Each structure stands twice: as C-alpha cells, then as structure tokens.
C-alpha cells in the first residue's frame, strides 16, 4: 500500500539529482527538479479531504488511487504541476470541490491539466464506431498539453491493477479500451514500458483463454531460458572485464506476454514458440555509444551472429525514438539468443519515451507552446499537430480511422532530402508522398524523382534511408489522378483530390 512518504521520497531523490535524466535529443533539456514538497503535501491533504469517506470497489480508501497515479508520474520524472494534477485528477469528477478551488490553491496550470483529464475521463468504450471519436479527443488533449495524456496513462495503469474488484462487464470494457486506445498511443509516444505494462495488465481480461494457454505452455519455456541466460551473462561479464569495457547493467529480460501472444499469431510462427528467438533477450547497458559498438564487436567475436539479424537502431532509430543495437547469435551450446545493447539514456527513452525528455527550453525560462501559453511540444511531436489538423478537415469517422491506421499506427520509414533533412513517412510511401510532405506546390508539379541518384517513377516505393530528389515541371497542370492508387499518406491523398477538383 503506497503512502504519501513514498511519493515524497521519490521527489526528494529527483531533487537531489538536480536535473533529471539526460536527454537523447540534445535540443531538449530536462527540467530542473525543484519540487516544493510542502505544496505536494498540501495537494495530498486537499485530495484526501475531497475524497473523504469514499471507498473504491477494491475496498481501499479512495486516496490510494490518486496517490498511486502521482507516484508513477514521479517515477517518470514529470514536473511538479503534473504530480499535483495527478493527486487531484479525480477531485472535480467525484466530489463537490470545484475546479475554481483548485485554481485558487494550485494555480491555473494545474487547473488546466485537471480539467483536461476530467474531459478525457468522459470517454467510454462503446464499440468500434466510437473508437475514432475517442482517439480524436485524445489527440486534441495531447495537442493542448501532452502532460494530460501522461497523467491519463498513469491513472489507467492503476485502474488496471485494481480491475479485479469491478463487475465483469466493466472489466472487459476497461481492458479492451486499454489495448485498443491507450497502448497504441503509449507506443507512439515511445513509452515502451508503459505500453507493455498496460497490455500485460489488460490481456487476461480481454483474452482469458489465450492468456491461460500462454501461461501454461510458454511460461515454463521462458523460465528454462532464463536459467540458461544467467550462464551466458556470466561469460559475457568475464569477457567484458578482460577488455576493460564498462557495464552499467546486464540482465535477462523476458518478452512480455501480450507481445509474445501477438507475435505467435503471425503466420510465420503459427503458435510455435520455439521459433521466437527473443523469448528471453540479454540486455547490456553501457555508458557510451562507442561502448555499444565495442560490446557488439566483442559479442560477435565470441559467438557468430545469425545473418540478417543485426539491427542498428542507434544509427537508424525507430520512428518512436527507440535506439539500441540488436543481434541474434549462436550462443553457448549452439542455442540462439538475442542480445540488445544500449546506453542508459537510450534505455530510459525506451521505457518512458516522451516523458524521458520532458523539458523546459534551454534558456530555462517558461516556454511558450505554439500559439498559446504553456509548454512547447518537442519537434518530434509534429505528428500530433498534424493529426489534430486533419481531424478538423475530416468529418467522417470511418475515414479518420482509415487515415490513422495508414499514417499513425503504420510502421514508419525515415528518408532524406538531398540536403540531409530527415522526413518520416509510412512504409511503402512513394516519391509523391514525399513531395507533398515537403510542399504542396512540389507535389502538384512532381514529374519524376531520383532515389539515391537513380531515376525512379512517381509510384515507386521508398525504403528506409533513401535520399529523394523530386523533379518538378513548372508548366505541369496538376497532379495525376493515378497517384491516388499508390500514395500512402492522407495528406497527399487529400491534396491530389483538392487539386483535381479545381
């Protein structure tokens, strides 16, 4: 059972560290940690008073829920307003205390966050037709202030942990909503830890039989592999020491059950867990990027890598910011093991994503959000703005959902302009998608493209790392309607249609 002291302890540690985690993207510096513990205590008292006498279905007093939420936020290293909003997030909904009172006591920023969370709380899962609407609201909230989503995630995590006490129908609804709405968003925000936890908590409620099967059939295999991996880790430790390579930590990590379940669904695996090489992976955390490559070299001297399974996500990060080196090797006794190597910063980024580089601007003064007072989204978050803009244009829910599956949840690739600017597009995007992404005029006048210096067609598929140069024709009348068959982005589609309508 968490207590106020647990929360204060974490905040105190954050304060001692001075600044929080080092950012992955150097342009964004973590905020200075200077939590006012007295104010946090007051917020706790305020919430406790407001929820007095309320008992959750699970039997505990209500205050435990907002407290658990605030503790998660403190672990993520979020700022003071977020922690206070976490403590107060259910106050206006459930009690007679009003937002006005919150604003009076804790300021307009906290009040804004709490009201954002309250509005999001009105989203209920009502089947797929409501799904798009729910996503819309999430994105609007996100664009207003990304912290609203982070608090909502922490809130949801605790609700899932106490789901047992609710009636079955409600359990299913909340769990399904977590899988279909919250987890994908956490993933897109790069919060791998939160995504994995949400999924594994929801999994048993949504697919009880599958979960039971997995636990019975696969868990023993995982435990066996864990034992084996322990031996491998000892060998690696010795070898690293011989070469004077520093390690921060080295451990085995079992694949999360829900992601295992999803992988087993794919035709290639067809339910056969012996084909899954990363059931248990070895994770090596080292101080610097140079150490990552040196460590990989050492591993490959010890054990031969499987062809085609070396992945350098440091040079080419995943679209959600994930960085690591992955390699699968023929290890001790010829067994196959996946090794993941990363720095501590990369590790925190992988766990907490956007929250790991929560920041004030470099100057240290209060940053302005584009257009209004508040926080600025890091550049990486441009897609949130894009989504909100599209949803203003697209009124049909079905169409909005289609565009989301195309652009948002689809795997992304990184391609480059001739000047070396990085542009991220959905997989299988074409030069036309690229052209419209750069500028509408360039899209409308696109006559051809060079991919890596070679002439290419407008409907060729782009690959990760391609350098694209668009050839335009000034006198071209407009886009070809044929392009509609091949483009992958909603933006290109809409612009081709609107140019053709003129």
SS3 487: coil
Q: What is the DSSP string of 275-290?
A: G-TTSEEEEEEESSHH
93 is catalytic: yes
Distance of CA 495 to the CA centre of its chain: 29
Q: Which of 79, 81, 145, 155 binds Mn ion (CB under 5 A)?
A: 155
Nearer to Mn ion, 167 or 307 (CB): 167
Residue number with CB closer to Mn ion (47 or 250): 47
Query: Which parts of 47-66 interact with Mn ion (CB under 5 A)?
Result: none
Q: How far is the CB of 390 from Mn ion (least distance, A)?
A: 30
Give min distance, CB of 152 to Mn ion, in A.
Answer: 9
Among residues 79 and 90, whose Cβ is nearest to Mn ion? 90
3-state secondary structure of 414: strand
**Closer to Mn ion at the Cβ: 79 or 155?**
155
State which residue has the least CB distance to Mn ion: 155
Closest CB 447 distance from Mn ion, rounded Å = 55
Q: Which of 36, 45, 93, 227 is catalytic?
A: 93
- Contact call for residue 177 and Mn ion (CB under 5 A): no
* Long-range contacts of the stretch 472-477 (C-beta < 8 A, 24+): 472/442, 472/445, 472/446, 472/447, 473/445, 473/447, 474/445, 476/444, 476/445, 476/446, 476/447
Q: Which is nearer to Mn ion, 151 or 496 (CB)?
A: 151
The tokens for 219 are 């868990």
CB 151 within 8 A of CB 191: no
Of the CA atoms within 13 Å of residue 347, those in its CB half-sphere come to 18
Q: Which stretch binds Mn ion (CB under 5 A): 105-113, 154-162, 301-309, 346-354?
A: 154-162
Return the number of other C-beta atoms located less than 10 Å from residue 76's C-beta: 26
Sole window of 37-45, 83-91, 345-353, 491-499 interacting with Mn ion (rule: CB under 5 A): 83-91
Residue whose CB is less far from Mn ion, 155 or 345 = 155
d(Cα 449, Cα 432) in Å, to the nearest integer?
A: 9
Q: Report the site for Mn ion in 8-27 (rule: CB under 5 A).
A: none
Select from 36-44, 86-94, 214-222, 335-343 the region that touches Mn ion (CB under 5 A). Answer: 86-94
Count of residues engaged in binding Mn ion, rule: CB under 5 A: 2
Q: Tell the smallest beta-carbon distance from residue 160 to Mn ion (Å).
A: 11
Beta bridge mates, 324: none
CB contact set of 339 (below 8 Å; sequence gap of 6+): 281, 282, 284, 296, 299, 326, 327, 328, 329
Q: Least distance from C-beta 157 to Mn ion, angstroms?
A: 10
* Residue 404 to residue 432: CA distance in whole angstroms: 19
Interface pick for Mn ion out of 81, 90, 345, 351 (rule CB under 5 A):
90
Q: Min. distance of Cβ 94 from Mn ion in angstroms?
A: 9
For residue 18, the 8-state DSSP code is: S
Considering only 152-160, 255-263, 351-359, 458-466, which stretch makes contact with Mn ion by CB under 5 A?
Answer: 152-160
Q: How far is the CB of 90 from Mn ion (least distance, A)?
A: 4
**From 36, 45, 94, 482, the catalytic residue:** 94
Task: Choose between 153 and 218: whose C-beta lies nearer to Mn ion.
Answer: 153
CB 23 within 8 A of CB 357: yes
- Report how far residue 65's alpha carbon sits from residue 58's, in angstroms, rounded to the nearest whole number: 11
Structure token pair of residue 314: 């440091």
User: Which structure tokens are listed for 34?
Assistant: 């200077």
CA distance 183 to 487: 27
Candidate segments 55-63, 139-147, 155-163, 172-180, binder of Mn ion by CB under 5 A: 155-163
Between CA 167 and CA 171 the distance in angstroms is: 6
Task: List residues with catalytic annotation.
Answer: 93-94
Q: Which residues bind Mn ion (CB under 5 A)?
A: 90, 155
């Amino acid at each position: 059972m968490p207590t106020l002291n647990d929360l204060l302890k974490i905040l105190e540690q954050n304060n001692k560290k001075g600044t929080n985690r080092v950012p992955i993207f150097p342009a964004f510096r973590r905020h200075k940690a200077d939590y006012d513990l007295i104010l946090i205590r007051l917020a706790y008292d305020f919430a406790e008073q407001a929820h007095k006498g309320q008992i959750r279905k699970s039997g505990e007093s209500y205050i435990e829920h907002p407290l658990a939420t605030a503790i998660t936020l403190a672990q993520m290293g979020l700022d003071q307003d977020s922690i206070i909003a976490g403590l107060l997030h259910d106050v206006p909904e459930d009690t007679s205390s009003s937002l006005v009172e919150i604003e009076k006591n804790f300021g307009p920023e906290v009040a804004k966050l709490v009201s954002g969370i309250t509005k999001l709380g009105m989203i209920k899962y009502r089947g797929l037709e409501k799904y798009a609407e729910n996503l819309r609201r999430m994105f609007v909230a996100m664009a207003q202030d990304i912290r609203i989503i982070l608090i909502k995630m922490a809130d949801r995590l605790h609700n899932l942990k106490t789901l047992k006490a609710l009636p079955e129908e409600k359990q299913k609804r909340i769990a399904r909503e977590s899988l279909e709405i919250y987890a994908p968003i956490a993933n897109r925000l790069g919060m791998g830890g939160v995504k994995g936890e949400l999924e594994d908590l929801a999994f048993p409620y949504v697919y009880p039989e599958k979960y039971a099967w997995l636990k019975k059939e696969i868990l023993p295999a995982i435990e066996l592999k864990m034992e084996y991996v322990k031996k491998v880790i000892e060998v690696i430790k010795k070898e690293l020491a011989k070469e004077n390579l520093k390690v921060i930590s080295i451990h085995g990590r079992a694949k999360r059950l829900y992601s295992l379940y999803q992988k087993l669904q794919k035709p290639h695996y067809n339910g056969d867990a012996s084909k899954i090489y990363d059931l248990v992976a070895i994770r090596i955390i080292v101080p610097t990027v140079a150490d990552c490559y040196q460590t990989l070299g050492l591993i490959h001297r010890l054990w031969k890598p499987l062809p085609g399974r070396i992945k350098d996500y440091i040079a080419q990060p995943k679209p959600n910011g994930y960085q690591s080196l992955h390699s699968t090797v023929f290890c001790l006794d010829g067994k196959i093991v996946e090794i993941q190597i990363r720095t501590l910063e990369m590790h925190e980024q992988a766990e907490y994503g956007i929250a790991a580089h929560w920041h004030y601007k470099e100057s240290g003064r209060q940053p302005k959000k584009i257009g209004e007072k508040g926080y600025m989204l890091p550049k990486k978050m441009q897609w949130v703005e894009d989504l909100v803009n599209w949803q203003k244009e697209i009124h049909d829910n079905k169409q909005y959902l289609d565009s989301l599956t195309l652009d948002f949840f689809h795997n992304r690739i990184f391609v480059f302009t001739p000047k070396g600017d990085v542009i991220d597009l959905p997989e299988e995007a074409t030069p036309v998608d690229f052209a419209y992404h750069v500028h509408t005029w360039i899209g409308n006048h696109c006559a051809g493209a060079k991919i890596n210096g070679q002439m290419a067609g407008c409907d060729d598929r782009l690959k990760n790392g391609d350098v694209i140069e668009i050839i335009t024709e000034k006198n071209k009348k407009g886009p070809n309607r044929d392009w509609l068959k091949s483009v992958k982005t909603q933006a290109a589609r809409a612009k081709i249609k609107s140019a053709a309508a003129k």
